[in-house]
Amino acid sequence: MELSDALLDKARAVREKIFQHPFVLGIGDGTLPVEKFRFYLGQDYRYLIEYCRVFGLGVAKAEYLADMAHLAALLNATLGVEMELHRTLCAGFGIDREALERTPISAVTHAYTSHLLAVAWRGSLAEIAASLLPCQWDYWEIGRALAERGGLAESNPYRQWVGAYTSTEYRELAEWLRGLLDRLGEGLGRSQLSRIEEVFLNSSRYELMFWDMAWREEM
């Protein structure tokens, strides 16, 4: 069994709660109150800013030039493409760029991104990959599941969000990150694998907390 398979299995209970979360299901069938989605968009933007910093630290921690190049490309794509797409999505829900930049960070978003940055500063590239995979892989699986249930229907106001996380480009990113973790995990000792598991499970818990925060619009 690959390392990522084992980690996803260990996080199964938390992940099932995420997949059945009312916020997630509301995106899929279009019933999510728009004010909750607007709140989520603002916090997700604050998350993306710190997420970019984690990629930058990943470049510094990478041993091989190919990994450095891939992480640098992901950082550039996030800063230059994904965040602009996020601003466009926000504009469609009445949040202009100026308002988006002024969004105050919630306690949960701050805690989650502080966890990611702490791992990135102190840990190995394998730990960085483990910290990011719960978000990357779960969003791919969420998007795919919602699309299968009709989330891409023209009548769904959130179809653009569903489409973003079912795209070929996003799937390739999630698969690359998962493959990176599996490759870096080969031959690691018990203590290192234990640390990777701890990082992965904590990120999984923060993912669930992020959805809860958005559902309650909790600062």
Q: Which of 198, 207, 217, 218 is catalytic?
A: 207
Active site residue 135: yes
Q: What is the C-alpha to C-alpha distance for residues 130 and 197, in angstroms, rounded to an integer?
A: 8
Q: What is the C-alpha to C-alpha distance for residues 184 and 172, in angstroms, rounded to an integer?
A: 18
Q: What is the C-alpha to C-alpha distance for residues 79 and 99, in angstroms, rounded to an integer?
A: 18
DSSP SS3 for 138: helix
Query: Token digits for 5?
Result: 């398979």
Whether the CB-CB separation of 203 and 11 falls below 8 Å is answered with no
- As to burial, measured by CB atoms within 10 angstroms (0-12 exposed, 13-18 middle, 19+ buried), residue 189 is exposed
Q: Which of 135, 169, 197, 198 is catalytic?
A: 135
Active site residue 207: yes
Query: Token digits for 94?
Result: 């009445």
Q: What is the C-alpha to C-alpha distance for residues 23 and 36, in angstroms, rounded to an integer?
A: 8
Q: Which amino acid is residue 41, in one-letter code?
A: L
Residues annotated as catalytic (active site), given as ranges: 135, 207
